[in-house]
Every structure is written in C-alpha cells, then in structure tokens.
Amino acid sequence: MDFNQLFRNRTKKFSIAIIKSLSPLPYSDDLSVIRKQVIRSVTSVASNYRAVSRARSEKEKFAKICIVVEEIDKTQFWLELIEELQYLNQEKIIHLKQECEELVKVMTKYKFTLSQNITS
C-alpha cells in the first residue's frame, strides 16, 4: 500500500473513531458545540487529505495539505478540551490524542517536504 492510500484510510478511520466515541454521550449545550466542532475538523482532515492525493499539481497538493495541517491542529485542540472537561474516559481520550499527535507530526512533515519541493 502506498503512503497516500495508507493515510487516506488512517484519517478516515480516525474520523470514525472520534464520531463513535462522542456520539453516545448525552446531550448538553457545551458538549454539543464541542462535539460538532471536533467532528467538523476531523472529517475535514480526512476529506482534504483525500484531495491531497488527487491534486493536479504540486501547488494544489500543498494548498490542500495546509488545510489538513490546520484542521488536524484544531482537532488536537478540541480533544484537549474534551480531556480537560472529562467527557471521555482517560483510556479512550489518550488513544485518540496519541493518534492525533502522530497525524499532526506526519502531516506537518509532509507539508514541509511539499514546501521544499515547490521552492526547489
């Protein structure tokens, strides 16, 4: 499996994991806002990464990976809030935060590499 396919699958699975983790939680105004925001950001990561792998040029690929990095950073922020507000058990949130951190590192590195290719 190539890198693009691996991370298309991985970002989609991460989106599904967050949706499944948060959907069963009871309704409250504060949780509703946070749940909606984190689901928006994490699904944006997956959909924009998919667009990266279909980009028609290096500049288009770079523009999309910039969105991916911004959205994975937002996802990380929302997961931190979920942890601090103790909406999920510690084991579940630690797993989600670890996957998010790995994705932040990979996508940031990929963005840097693409930026080097464009300026070369």
Low-confidence ranges of the chain (pLDDT < 70): 1, 120
- Look-up of token digits 């790995």: 102
Choose which CATH entry (1.20.1440.60, 1.10.357.10, 3.65.10.10, 1.10.760.10) describes domain 3-22+30-119: 1.20.1440.60
Look up residue 42 and give its two tokens. 């994490």
Each residue's pLDDT tens digit, 34-59:
999 999 999 999 999 999 989 999 99
Write down the pLDDT at residue 117: 85
Amino acid identity, residue 30?
A: D
> Do residues 45 and 18 touch, judged by C-beta distance below 8 A?
no
The first and second tokens of residue 25, run together, are 């939680």
Q: Per-domain residue ranges for the chain?
A: 3-22+30-119
pLDDT at 18: 98
* pTM check: above 0.85: yes
